[in-house]
Structure 1
Amino acid sequence: MNLLHITATHLRLEGGIPVVLNKLVSAQNRIQGVQSKVLSLTSDIKDIDSPYFIHIKKEQLEEYLTQNRPDAVIIHSFYYIQYNWVSKVLNKKNIPYFIEPHGSFGREALKKSQFKKWIANHFIFKRLIKRAKGFVFLNDQEKKQSIFITKNDIIIPNGIDISTIKSPLETTKEIKNKIYFIGRYDINHKGLDYFLEALKILDKEKYNLEVSLFGKGTDEAIRYIEDAIKKFSYIKVYLNSSISGQEKDNLLEQNAPMILTSRYEGFPMTILEAWSYGNPCIVTYGTNVSLEVSENNLGWVTDLNSFNIANCIKKALIDYNKDREGYIKRCKRYVEQHYNWEEIAYESYEKIKYSLELFKK
């Protein structure tokens, strides 16, 4: 089977989609009889150390598809005007394609720039959506939140490189009353307005807590965070730039709960990374992993309410300090059992193959 993933996103490795595609196609190419490539429409591939990524000019696409005809194409993310042209070429050559929206079709996600997205969905991208053979969702919760569904939709989760997971018995010194956040400093998307308000509540209670924030954002977003945290008297908040490589490994190995208060997500890789290091997570329902967290005791779930987030943080740290080793073992074991890239790659191959067989009937 010849698979082609197409993306118009950036290819910086701190971003979720490039990391996912790099790992997924590498694992897919280890399956006998499968050839998988990633075609970048806009970004240079120099930041990706992979033989499976290619970048060609727009006018070369039709020729490329003729010489390297894929059995199926997966278009990643959604609101890129280039995808209309891609859809037209694929339709002309009768090549089936799926759209993997990575959270873009969720009801909460569509509330941001709501009118523009309504126009885009009903006029600009109408044919792109209609021509798709189906959609690829990252989990059941993303599918349930989607405003677009077909009878051919499939679920393929993100994964993690389990070779990097250390033994659950390898724990570091105990750290009390510390939490961390890794992600974009997007105030609305990541629910940082509610999170910072929750910290304000805890600060008024003279609660002892250290919070480390890692990410990047607009100057406006960073000023928003700085203005909030400079008013705290008791809670210590460390605002840092984005983190990667060995520095990120060192942080995650310290073993402390991670917090993610997003209004919406597709499937946050930062959660998988946290679990793989044994770090349970404080999450909102918008993260799309709340069921997994609650059903498998991998952290704590709160709704998007500042008082409830504040109370959840306090409960989380009490629970964590009572059963730190238990949380570390459960999180690592869960990732090993459910999010191995090798198994996910094979599952993706089987599901796409099955869908293609249905199209031929």
Structure 2
Amino acid sequence: GVKLKTVWTLDKKGLAAMVSSFFAAFRATFGKYDIIHFHAEGPCVMLWIPKLFHKRCIVTIHGLDWKRAKWGKFAREYIKLGEKFAVKYADEIIVLSKEMQYYFQSTYGRRTNFIPNGVCRPDLRDAQLIKEKFSLEKDSYILFLGRIVPEKGIRYLLEAFKGVNTEKNLVIAGGASDTKEFLTEIKMMAAEDRRVVFTGFVQGEMLDELYSNAYVYTLPSDLEGMPLSLLEAMSYGNCCLVSDIAECTEVIENEAVIFKKSNVEDLRDKLQYLCDNPEKVERYKSKAADFICKKYNWDNIVDKTIELYQKDKAQ
């Protein structure tokens, strides 16, 4: 089973994660644990604590977090320090994409283990809650679902959608992540387009319904680690439209539509094409779930992770 342990931190933006990472690393070091598994680059600044006491440490890098637009100079340098500590101190590093594996090899000469996220086949839900709250019907909307941050490409999406001739809605689902100013900005961008719907943060049945009934799911990101929302969207049988960054194209292979990263015109043209060709959309939908659930099977991923945990014992 899983036991959750809580640690104290400062309730202050910019310091909360740093302080909680310190206390979590300290507590884990003096607990009776065989392995300490760090997630993300920032917390890895504290890797020296368990390594000082010869603890076995594994790190999962979810993405190059220092590249994210929301961080100031100090935060970026701190996160990059965590990346360097991971390279120096971690017994094993897990990355979620081949692109990330290449980055660590070419930048640091560090070998890593490619173990991606997994996905399960969900039960589809009819449009009930989303119809009551947002007047959304099946196949009546294009869905973006993710954190409302600049690197997700939402500006490009809104600009492109303005030029798409369709009565379908564009649903922007997700909450702001320390970027309330950006949320205000994109709401102003969309203010004159009645087709754009902001749902805010969603979870549970509402989330399931949004995935289950979308006409197209789109992820126009400039930067990703491994986009779990893309895996989820395909597992629900969605036709997906994504930017051509490696972290997205690795996932979809030939089973979705791509556009040139940050290119508003290309994104607009691909959206228009999909709106005008429902038979193409259905073709992608019919293959998406089988493809993604086979490729990112949780059983295989868990086996690889356990094998890594047990590697030290085998040696």
TM-score by length of 2: 0.78
User: Is it true that 1:190 corresponds to 2:152 in the alignment?
Assistant: yes
Tell me if the contact between 2:274 and 2:281 (Cα under 8 Å) persists in the aligned partners. no
Structure 2 equivalent of residue 26 of structure 1: none
Structure 2 equivalent of residue 16 of structure 1: none
User: Is it true that 1:349 corresponds to 2:301 in the alignment?
Assistant: no
User: Is it true that 1:267 corresponds to 2:226 in the alignment?
Assistant: yes
Q: Distance in 2 between matches of 1:90 and 1:237?
A: 49
Structure 2 equivalent of residue 46 of structure 1: none
AA at the equivalent of 1:84 = V
Q: 1:92 aligns with which of 52, 76, 79?
A: 52
AA at the equivalent of 1:63 = F
Aligned pairs for 1:101-120 (under 5 A) are: 101-104=61-64, 109=67, 113=71, 115-116=73-74, 119-120=77-78
Counterparts in 2 of 1:351 and 1:88: CA distance versus 1, 3 Å: closer
Counterparts in 2 of 1:40 and 1:88: CA distance versus 1, 3 Å: farther
Q: Distance in 2 between matches of 1:63 and 1:110?
A: 33
Structure 2 equivalent of residue 333 of structure 1: 290
Q: Distance in 2 between matches of 1:219 and 1:105?
A: 19
Q: Distance in 1 between matches of 2:82 and 2:146?
A: 30
- SS at structure 1 position matched to 2:161: helix
Counterparts in 2 of 1:348 and 1:241: CA distance versus 1, 3 Å: same
AA at the equivalent of 2:267 = I
**CA-atom RMSD in angstroms:** 3.3
Identity of aligned residues (%): 20
Q: Distance in 1 between matches of 2:246 and 2:8?
A: 28
Structure 2 equivalent of residue 220 of structure 1: 181
- SS at structure 2 position matched to 1:311: helix
Counterparts in 2 of 1:38 and 1:99: CA distance versus 1, 3 Å: farther
Tell me if the contact between 1:255 and 1:278 (Cα under 8 Å) persists in the aligned partners. no
Shift in Å at residue 259 of structure 1?
0.9
Q: Distance in 2 between matches of 1:227 and 1:84?
A: 38
Counterparts in 2 of 1:41 and 1:281: CA distance versus 1, 3 Å: farther
Q: Distance in 1 between matches of 2:57 and 2:238?
A: 37
User: Is it true that 1:238 corresponds to 2:205 in the alignment?
Assistant: no
Structure 1 equivalent of residue 161 of structure 2: 199
Identify unmatched segments of 5+ residues in structure 2: 10-22, 125-136
Counterparts in 2 of 1:91 and 1:37: CA distance versus 1, 3 Å: farther
Counterparts in 2 of 1:159 and 1:329: CA distance versus 1, 3 Å: same
Tell me if the contact between 1:199 and 1:310 (Cα under 8 Å) persists in the aligned partners. yes
Tell me if the contact between 1:263 and 1:304 (Cα under 8 Å) persists in the aligned partners. yes
Structure 2 equivalent of residue 229 of structure 1: 190
Aligned pairs for 1:42-81 (under 5 A) are: 60-64=27-31, 68-70=32-34, 72-80=35-43
Tell me if the contact between 1:101 and 1:136 (Cα under 8 Å) persists in the aligned partners. yes
Shift in Å at residue 144 of structure 1?
3.0
Identify unmatched segments of 5+ residues in structure 1: 1-28, 30-35, 44-55, 167-173
Tell me if the contact between 1:180 and 1:213 (Cα under 8 Å) persists in the aligned partners. yes
Aligned length, in residue pairs: 289
Counterparts in 2 of 1:290 and 1:124: CA distance versus 1, 3 Å: closer
For residues 14-67 of structure 1, give each alpha carbon's deviation from its aligned partner in whole angstroms, at most 9, with x where no partner exists.
xxxxxxxxxxxxxxx7xxxxxx87766568xxxxxxxxxxxx877543331xxx
- SS at structure 2 position matched to 1:297: coil
Shift in Å at residue 101 of structure 1?
2.0
Shift in Å at residue 149 of structure 1?
4.7
